[in-house]
Structure 1
Amino acid sequence: MIDNYFTKEVSDGVAFLYLNQKDSKVNIVSPSLIDVFGQIIDQIISDDSIKAAVFISAKKDFIAGADIQSFKAEEVGDFQPISRKGHLLLSRLENSPKPFVAAIHGTAYGLGVELPLACSARIASNHRSTKFALPEVKLGLLPGGGGTQRLPRLIGLQASLDMMLTGKNIFARKAKKIGLIDELVHHSKLKIASKNLALSLVNNTLRRKRKVSFLNKFLDSTSIGRSIVYKEARKKVMRQTLGNYPAPLEILNCVETGLKQGQKQGYEAEVIKFEELMIGSVSKELRNLFFAMTAKKKNPWSSDIGKLNTLGILGAGFMGSGIAEVSLNKGIDIVMKDVNANTIQTAKKHLWKNLSKQVKRKSLTKLEAKNAITAVRGQVDYSDFDKIDVLVEAVFEDMEMKQKILAEVEQYTNDDFIFATNTSALSIEEIGKYAKHPENVIGLHYFSPVSKMPLLEIVRTAHTSNRTIATCYDLGLNQGKTNIVVNNGPGFYVNRILAPYLNEAMLLLEEGGDIIEIDNTMKAYGFPVGPFALMDEVGIDVGAHVMTGDLAEMFKRRKGAVMSEGLLKMNQAGFKGRKNIKGFLAYNKKGKKIRGKANESVYEFFDKPLKVKFDLSDIQLRTTLLMVNEAVLCFQEGIIESPQDGDLGAIFGIGFRPFTGGPFRYLDQVGSDYVVKELERLKKLYGDRFSPCDLLLQYAKSTNSFY
C-alpha cells in the first residue's frame, strides 16, 4: 500500500519520502491515505539508521489538495472519526523525536500546507510555480487538518486569517516573508538544501526570527489586539457574505477557540465544525460546482482540435485587449488589427502594464514578459492574415458591420481559418449567412472584464463544424476559461436568462421601488451584485442594445409581455453606466461608487413614481423566478444541452446565487412544484409573463429532478 503513494530513498541518514501517487498526474490526499502516512512515519521513527526525514514530491507539484469526492458525510458523526484520526497522525508527526522537513516545489494546497505545518521545518523552491493556499473556504469548508490552529501560531493571527478567509495563493517569496517557509532555494538545490536542513535539526531546534511591527505584535499577540482583529474580520465577512456563507465565520470561531481556550479545544472545534459544514447545503453545492468546473476542463471534441499557432484579434479596444491579455504566454502568436494605430498602442500599453505586475509579483521573469509582448503584433491592415488560424472579431455590435468584416477578411485568409465573433446577442447564423465556409463560423461570447470573468459562452450554429468547436473550446481552456457550448438563439443562454431578471427590476422601479433597496435585497439573497449595479458595470449602452434586438422582439411576442423602456431612455440621454460615471448609482469624480447612494435623476426615466415599500421576498422572487423559468425554457428548446451547462452559465456569467448551485440545482433543492406554485401566484398578481414553461410544469407534476 505504501508503494502506491511513496518512494523512499535514504542518503546520509536522511530518508527522502517522495510523494508519488500511482496512476495520477498529481498527489491528492484522501481519508484512505491517513493509515499510509501513519505507517511511513512509524517506519522512520523506529529505524535507528535514519536520523531525519524529508517529504518531497516526485511530481511537478507537492500536494494539489484533497480528493474532494472522497470527503463525504450525510449526518453528524459520519466524518468526525476520520478528522480525529488525521489530527492524531499530524500530532505524531509534530511531536516526533526525529525531525521531518517538508521540501516544497509547485502547488501546495489544503493538506499540502497543513502537512508541512506539522513538520519541524519547511523549505521551498523559489520557482514561480511554487504557491501555497488553504482554499477550503471556496468550497464552503474550513481547513480540517489542523490549519486553523497551527497556522496562526506560526505566521500570526492577521496573516493566517488572510490566507484562510480568502483561499488566495501565496507565492514563494511572500510565504518566506510571512514566516510560512523557513528557507527558499533554487529548484535544482531543493533536495540537497532540505537534507542539510533536516540534519541541522537532529540535535537543534530551528530558531525563527520574523520582523513584526509593534502594531502587528499588539494585534496578533495580545487579547485586546486579537479582539479587535476578530471584530473587524467578522464585520468584513458579514459585509461580503451577508450571512449566506457560514464557512468564514466558522474559521474565525475555530481560530478564536484555539487561541483563547487552547489547542485541544481548538482542534475539537475544527473537527465538529468541519463536519457541520460538510453536511450543510452550501458546501454541497459549492463542491458540486467545483466538480462541474473540473469536468469542463476536458474537451469533449478533443479528437477534432485544429491547429492554433496564430490568433488574430480584430478590434483592439477594451474587449479586444482583454482577449489578448488572457491569451498571453500560451505559446500562441497574437495579431491585433484595428483601424486606429493609437488604439493598438493603448492596448499594448495595457498588456505591458499587466505583464509588469506579474513580474513584480515574481510570477513572471522580465525575459518572459518581454517575450510575451513581443509575440503580440499590432497592425492596421490585413497583411499576413493568411497565417491566422483563429480570428476573434471584437468590433461594435452591428450586424451589417460584422457581415462586412467577415466578407472582407475572407479575401486575405486561408479557407480553413475560423471566424469567431465576440457578440453578446447578435445571431451567429445571420453573421455567417454569406460566409464562404459557414462551418468555420462560431460565436465566442466573452464577458467583461475578460481577465476576471471566468466564463466563455461558445455559440454554435447548425453549420458549425466539430473542428471549429473543438479548436475554440481548446482556446478557451488555454485562456483559463470555463466553457459552455450553447446553440444559437436570441441572447444565446446567459443574456437570455438575464434579460427578464433585469427587466423585472426596472418594472419594480416603475412601480415605486428604490434602486439601493432593490440592489441590497438581491445581494442579501445571494447575488454578488444587485441588478442596477450590474447594468452600470456591463454598460447601459450595451444593455440597451440587447433590449432592442432579436432578444427583445422574442420577449415582446410573448403573452403578457411588459417591457420597461427606462433603459432605452437612459441610453438616449447619454447614460453609459460606470464608464462615463452616469448610471443608476452615484459615483465620485474618480468613478468610485458612493456607498448606499443612487443617482436620483434616474427615476425621471421611470416616470418618477411615488416610492412604495415592497416586501423583500417579493422583490427576490419576482426577479429570480423569471430567470429560473427562462433557464428551464432554454433547456426545453435545446439552447443548452444539460442542466450543468445551465448552472455554470448562470453562476459564472451572471453571478446567480453560487451557494444554491445554479438555477437547476436550486429547482432540485426547493422542488419544481414549489417554483410553479410561486410563479402561478405571481401570475395572478402581475400577469402572464410569470407563466411557468411546459418543461417546468412537467417536472412539477412528476418526481423527476434535473440531476
Structure 2
Amino acid sequence: MASKQSTFDIEQRDDGVAVVRMDVPGEAHNVLKAEFADEFEALFQRLRTDSAIKAVVFASNKPGSFLAGADIKLFENVKTPDEVVALAEQCQGAFHQIADLKVPVVAAIDGACLGGGLELALACDARIAADTPKTVLGLPEVMLGLLPAGGGTQRLPALIGIAAALDLLLTGKQLRPGRAKKVGILDQVVAPEALIDAAAARALVLAAGKTPKAGLLTGGVAGLQARATKLALEDNRLGRRVLFSQARKKLQSQTRGNYPAPERIVDAVEAGAEKGPEAGFAAEARFFGELVFTDESRALRHIYRATEDLKKETFAPAGTKARTIDNVGVLGAGLMGAGIATVTIDKAGLPVRLKDKDDTGLAAGIGHLRAHYDKKVKRKQLSRFEADVALNRVTGTTNYRGFAGCDLVVEAVFEDLDLKHRMLADVEANGREDTIFASNTSSIPIGDIAARAKRPENVIGLHYFSPVEKMPLLEIIATNQTAPEVIAASAAFGKAQGKTVIVVGDGPGFYTTRILAPFLNEATRILAEGVSVKAVDAALTNYGFPVGPMTLLDEVGIDIGTKVGPILEKAFGERMAVPGESAKMIEAGWLGRKAGKGFYDYEAKKKNGKRPVNADLYDLMGVSGDAGMDATEIAERCTFMFLNEAAHCLGEGILSEPMHGDIGAIFGLGFPPFTGGPFRFADRLGIKQVVARLDAFTDQHGARFEPAPILRDMARARARRKQRFYN
C-alpha cells in the first residue's frame, strides 16, 4: 500500500522494508528545496514510529536522477550569511535524522547522485548503485565556489579517509559506479533491474545484525599499503598535521589563492578531524555562509546559470524548424578534423564520412579515433564490442564518394581562403542543395568564404578548440545570409557533441580569436621590453589563467599567430599589430613545441622539473631578460587588452549579449573562471576604473589601449545600471 506525498512516496514491502521514492514535482531532476522541511519532518515521523518498518531504502522515481543536489536558487535571494548558515544547518539536521534512525537505511542509487544527493546517501548505512551510464557520484560544490553543506565534509572523510575525501572534495570529481565502489563510497554495484531488491536485501542483512566484515587482506597489497598510509597520516595528530599541510601547499600551487572555497574545504575537514564531528559540522555551515557571499562564488554561479541557459537556447527565431542532421562529413583528417569526427561519433552518435587528400593522412585520422576508443576500453568505460561498434560509424575516403548523403560537412583544412573556396565548391558539387557547409576557420570571415557559394544560406562557421575532445566550447559564426534553420541545426549539432555553444557575428577573428590576439601580442611586447619569459608566464598564471601566454604561444605555434595577425591588423589597425619579435623567431625556426624550440626549449632537459627557457631567445630580441616589472602590471596590461577587445566586440554587434562573451572567454580561452568572464570582471572592477586604467596604459604605451567606445559611453553614464554590463 503506498502513501502518496508531494515529494516522497513510501512503499511498504511485505518483507518489512519501506522504500522511500523521491520525485520532486515540476522538476526534470530531483533537487533539494527549502520548502521540503515540513515534508522531511512528516516522512521521518512515519519512519520513526511505524513498528512494521524493519529497514528503509531511499530511491528515486525519476529515471536517471537519484538526487542532483540543492536547487541553486535556494540561496540566491538570501541577504546575510546567517540566513545561509541556517539553511545549511537545516539540511544537516535532515540528514542527521537519516543517520539516527534506529532501523538501517540503504541508498539505492540510479542516476545522478551529486552534492546534497551524495550527502543524503552518505548519511545512510550502505549505498548500492545501478551500473548505468547516467549513474555518477560526486560533491561538485567547489565548482560553484562553495563547499558541501549537508555534512559532506565530515561524512565522506569518515567513510573513505581524509586523503581520498579531500581529492574528491577539492576537485569536484564525478565517479562512475565502479570507481566509487573501489574508493569505498559504494558497497555494491548491480544491474539496474536488480537495484531495489539488492538494496532491500542489504538493508535486511543489516537489520539482522549480520553486517559483512571486510577481511584482513581485502584489497591485497594495495589495500594493505592504503591502510598503512592511513595509520601513519590520518590516525594520529602529527600525521594529520603533515597531511593537511601538504594539502594546503598543493592547493596554493593550483589555485594561487584565487579561490577561497578549496581552502575552506580543507579547514572544515580539519575541524572535524581535530575537534570532533560537532565542531566539523558547525565549521562546514559557517564556511558555507561565508562563501555564498564571495565575489568568486557569485562569478562561478553566474557561469553555471549561463551554461544552463545556453542549453535551452536555439539561437534562431521562434518557430524556426532546424534542419535534421543525421549524417556528417569531415574534410581533413588532421588533429582538428579527427577530433571533430571523434566527438561526432562518441557524443552525438552520428556516422562520419572522413576525407583526406591521401591514404597516409586518412590513416592517421582513423588512428586518432582508434586510440580514443582504445583508451576508453582500457579505462573500462566501454567494452571492446561497444568500442568497435562506435568505430564502425566512421568511414574514410580520399574522394567525395558518399558525400551526397551528408546533411552537414565540416571543413578542417589549413587557413587558406583559396583552399576553403575549393572545398566549398567540391561540397556544393557533390552534396545536396540543402547540405550545410561549415568552416572550422579560426580567423577568416565566413562571409569571405561564402562569397563564392552558390547557396550562401547554407554556409556557417563552426570554430572548435584544440584538443576538440576536451575543450568544451563551440563558437558558431553566422553571416547575414546564413539561414535561421541552418543556425538552429548547427547549434543542436554542437550540443549533441557535448559542447557549450555560443553564436557570434561574422568578422575577422570572430570573437575568441579576436580577443586572444591582443592578449598574446601584449605578452610578447612585454618580453621585448626585457622581462623574462618565466616572469610573464608566472604573472598571468598567478592572476588566474590556466597557462601563461608564452607557454600558450608555444603550444599553438608562433607561426599560427603570424598567419592570423595580418588578417586582424588589416581590419583593426595598430591594436592588432603582431610584434616584430614574432617574425624574428619564425626566421630562426623557433615555432614552439612542434619545432623543439620557441620561448622554451623542448629539447633540453628539465631543471627541477621545469622547462628551461630558450637560451638564445633574449639575444635574438636584443634584451637581457632580467628587466624588473611588477607582476600586477604585467597581468593587467595583458588582461585589459583582452577585456577591451571583448568590449569592442559587444559594441560592434559581434556579440549579442555579454553572457555569450563571458562563456566564450572562459570555456574557449581559459579566462579566469573566478572572475565570471571579462564583462562580469569589468563590472566587478567598475567601468570607470577600467577606463581610467586603459587611459593610463594609453599614455604610457600607445593607442592600442584606447578604451572601446562602449566603455567610454558607460563610464559617462549617470545612471548606475548603465555603468554595468549586468544589472
Distance in 2 between residues matched to 1:417 and 1:445, nearest whole Å: 18
Whether 1:150 aligns to 2:161 is: no
Whether 1:333 aligns to 2:351 is: yes
Counterparts in 2 of 1:541 and 1:105: CA distance versus 1, 3 Å: same
Distance in 1 between residues matched to 2:694 and 2:626, nearest whole Å: 25
Cα offset for 1:485?
A: 0.5
Q: Which residue of 2 aligns with 1:11?
A: 13
Cα offset for 1:46?
A: 1.1
Indicate the SS of the match to 1:456. Answer: strand
Q: Deviations over 1:644-663 (max 9, x none)?
A: 01111111121112111111
Q: Deviations over 1:487-514 (max 9, x none)?
A: 1111111111111111111111111111
Q: What is the TM-score of this pair, normalised by structure 2?
A: 0.94
**Of residues 323, 331, 334 in structure 2, which corresponds to 1:314?**
331
Cα offset for 1:610?
A: 6.2
Cα offset for 1:195?
A: 1.1
Which has the higher mean CA deviation after the structures are superposed, 157-166 or 22-31?
22-31
Indicate the SS of the match to 2:504. Answer: strand
Whether 1:670 aligns to 2:685 is: yes
- Preserved CA contact (<8 Å) 1:54 1:101: yes
- Preserved CA contact (<8 Å) 1:406 1:419: yes
Q: How does 1:64-83 map to 2 (within 5 A)?
A: 64-72=68-76, 73-83=78-88
Cα offset for 1:590?
A: 9.0
Among the aligned pairs, what percent are the same residue?
41
Q: Which residue of 2 aligns with 1:104?
A: 109
Q: Which residue of 2 aligns with 1:574?
A: 589
Distance in 2 between residues matched to 1:16 and 1:303, nearest whole Å: 45
Q: How does 1:177-576 map to 2 (within 5 A)?
A: 177-204=182-209, 206-209=211-214, 211=219, 212-214=223-225, 215-217=228-230, 218-300=232-314, 301=316, 303-329=320-346, 330-548=348-566, 550-556=567-573, 563-576=578-591
Cα offset for 1:531?
A: 0.9
- Preserved CA contact (<8 Å) 1:128 1:364: no
Residue type of the partner of 1:364? L
Distance in 2 between residues matched to 1:606 and 1:571, nearest whole Å: 12
Distance in 1 between residues matched to 2:385 and 2:481, nearest whole Å: 43
Residue type of the partner of 1:5? T
Counterparts in 2 of 1:462 and 1:491: CA distance versus 1, 3 Å: same
Indicate the SS of the match to 1:485. Answer: strand
Cα offset for 1:557?
A: 5.4
Counterparts in 2 of 1:31 and 1:205: CA distance versus 1, 3 Å: farther
Distance in 2 between residues matched to 1:592 and 1:578, nearest whole Å: 17
Residue type of the partner of 1:425? S
Counterparts in 2 of 1:696 and 1:122: CA distance versus 1, 3 Å: same
Indicate the SS of the match to 2:153. Answer: helix
Q: Deviations over 1:650-684 (max 9, x none)?
A: 11121112111111111111110001111111111
Distance in 1 between residues matched to 2:424 and 2:578, nearest whole Å: 33
Whether 1:48 aligns to 2:51 is: yes
- Preserved CA contact (<8 Å) 2:344 2:351: no
Residue type of the partner of 1:444? L
- Preserved CA contact (<8 Å) 1:146 1:267: yes
Cα offset for 1:390?
A: 0.5
Q: Which residue of 1 aligns with 2:98?
A: 93
Q: Which residue of 1 aligns with 2:632?
A: 617
Q: Which residue of 1 aligns with 2:602?
A: 587
Q: Deviations over 1:617-641 (max 9, x none)?
A: 2212211112111111111100111
Residue type of the partner of 1:661? G
Distance in 2 between residues matched to 1:543 and 1:396, nearest whole Å: 13
**Of residues 671, 687, 701 in structure 2, which corresponds to 1:656?**
671
Distance in 1 between residues matched to 2:619 and 2:485, nearest whole Å: 51
Q: Which residue of 1 aligns with 2:65?
A: 61
Counterparts in 2 of 1:310 and 1:612: CA distance versus 1, 3 Å: same
- Preserved CA contact (<8 Å) 2:105 2:203: yes
Cα offset for 1:318?
A: 0.6
Q: Which residue of 2 aligns with 1:135?
A: 140
- Preserved CA contact (<8 Å) 1:528 1:657: yes
Counterparts in 2 of 1:362 and 1:65: CA distance versus 1, 3 Å: farther
Indicate the SS of the match to 1:28. Answer: coil
Indicate the SS of the match to 1:184. Answer: strand
Cα offset for 1:358?
A: 2.0
Which has the higher mean CA deviation after the structures are superposed, 150-159 or 64-73?
64-73
Distance in 2 between residues matched to 1:222 and 1:432, nearest whole Å: 69
Distance in 1 between residues matched to 2:689 and 2:380, nearest whole Å: 52
Cα offset for 1:409?
A: 2.0
Distance in 1 between residues matched to 2:163 and 2:196, nearest whole Å: 32
RMSD between aligned residues: 1.9
Residue type of the partner of 1:524? N
Distance in 2 between residues matched to 1:41 and 1:327, nearest whole Å: 47
- Preserved CA contact (<8 Å) 1:299 1:474: no
**Of residues 162, 187, 208 in structure 1, which corresponds to 2:167?**
162
Residue type of the partner of 1:221? D
- Preserved CA contact (<8 Å) 1:587 1:593: no
- Preserved CA contact (<8 Å) 2:478 2:506: yes
Counterparts in 2 of 1:536 and 1:670: CA distance versus 1, 3 Å: same
Distance in 1 between residues matched to 2:471 and 2:276, nearest whole Å: 42
- Preserved CA contact (<8 Å) 1:299 1:470: no
Q: Which residue of 2 aligns with 1:706?
A: 725
- Preserved CA contact (<8 Å) 2:320 2:484: no
Distance in 2 between residues matched to 1:221 and 1:701, nearest whole Å: 61
Q: What is the TM-score of this pair, normalised by structure 1?
A: 0.96
Distance in 1 between residues matched to 2:463 and 2:422, nearest whole Å: 20
Which has the higher mean CA deviation after the structures are superposed, 205-214 or 79-88?
205-214
Cα offset for 1:461?
A: 0.8
- Preserved CA contact (<8 Å) 2:574 2:704: no
Indicate the SS of the match to 1:434. Answer: coil
- Preserved CA contact (<8 Å) 2:327 2:406: yes
Counterparts in 2 of 1:98 and 1:694: CA distance versus 1, 3 Å: same
Cα offset for 1:250?
A: 1.0
Counterparts in 2 of 1:393 and 1:593: CA distance versus 1, 3 Å: farther
Residue type of the partner of 1:654? L
Q: Which residue of 1 aligns with 2:660?
A: 645
Distance in 2 between residues matched to 1:605 and 1:373, nearest whole Å: 48
Cα offset for 1:604?
A: 3.9
Cα offset for 1:39?
A: 2.1
- Preserved CA contact (<8 Å) 2:154 2:272: yes
Cα offset for 1:522?
A: 0.9
Distance in 1 between residues matched to 2:242 and 2:663, nearest whole Å: 39
Distance in 2 between residues matched to 1:593 and 1:462, nearest whole Å: 54
Counterparts in 2 of 1:303 and 1:15: CA distance versus 1, 3 Å: farther
Indicate the SS of the match to 2:257. Answer: coil
Cα offset for 1:563?
A: 4.2
Residue type of the partner of 1:305? A
Counterparts in 2 of 1:262 and 1:507: CA distance versus 1, 3 Å: same
Distance in 1 between residues matched to 2:499 and 2:625, nearest whole Å: 45
- Preserved CA contact (<8 Å) 2:662 2:680: yes
How many residue pairs get matched? 704
Structure 1 residue ranges without an equivalent (≥5): none
Residue type of the partner of 1:519? D
